[in-house]
């Protein structure tokens, strides 16, 4: 995670590095917020940059996950196995999304654990065929809640 952030910050401003790091899968704002705060950027600014950066990928993910998956699995057995693994992993991790729908999607995104961010929530929304408007709003609310939690935890640790 630090290598990614260093790569961005060595080529861009620290603010852009926080914003772009928050857009990345697996790292998302859970990594961008503590790194931004550790660099001395104002916590409110870090929160805003990380939340915005984490929300931006939701729209293309919700629209493009299925078409990209279909395209890739038809052309590669490796991609087919990867998406099968990803699908099964997401189903295991997102039982509350299936059970509670939109509310489950908010909670799934908001809990700041590894693999429960906007990227995985977008995949879960696509898998469970949750309407785009509900998915986007739910995941965005979850990102805001996760941003608050991660920012507060990062400030408590420093």
Tens digits of residue pLDDT in 61-102: 999 988 988 898 888 899 889 888 888 877 777 777 777 888
Confidence of residue 4 (pLDDT cuts 50, 70, 90): low
Q: Residue 66's closest CA among 140, 13, 122?
A: 122
What pLDDT is stored for residue 113 in this prediction? 80
Between 17 and 94, the more confident residue is 17
**Whole-model pTM over 0.95:** no
**What value does the mean pLDDT take over residues 2-30?**
83
28 in Cβ contact with 54 (< 8 Å)? yes
What the block records as the tokens of 129 is 């065929």
Find out whether 135 and 21 touch, Cβ atoms under 8 Å.
no
pLDDT band of residue 9 (cuts 50, 70, 90) is low
Domain range list for the chain: 2-54+151-157, 58-143
pLDDT at 86: 81
| Cα–Cα distance, 106 to 142 (Å, whole number) | 4
């Amino acid at each position: 995670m630090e290598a990614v952030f260093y790569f961005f910050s060595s080529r861009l401003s620290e603010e852009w590095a926080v914003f772009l790091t928050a857009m990345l899968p697996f790292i998302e704002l859970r990594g961008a917020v503590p790194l931004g705060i550790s660099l001395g950027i104002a916590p409110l600014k870090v929160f805003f940059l990380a939340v915005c950066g984490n929300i931006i990928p939701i729209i293309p993910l919700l629209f493009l996950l299925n078409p990209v998956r279909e395209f890739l699995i038809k052309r590669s057995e490796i991609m087919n196995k990867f998406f099968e693994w990803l699908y099964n992993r997401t189903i295991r991790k997102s039982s509350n999304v299936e059970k509670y729908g939109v509310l489950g999607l908010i909670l799934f995104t908001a809990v700041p654990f590894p693999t429960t961010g906007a990227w995985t929530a977008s995949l879960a929304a696509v898998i469970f065929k949750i309407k785009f408007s509900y998915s986007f709003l739910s995941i965005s609310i979850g990102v805001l809640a996760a941003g608050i939690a991660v920012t507060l935890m990062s400030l408590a640790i420093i």
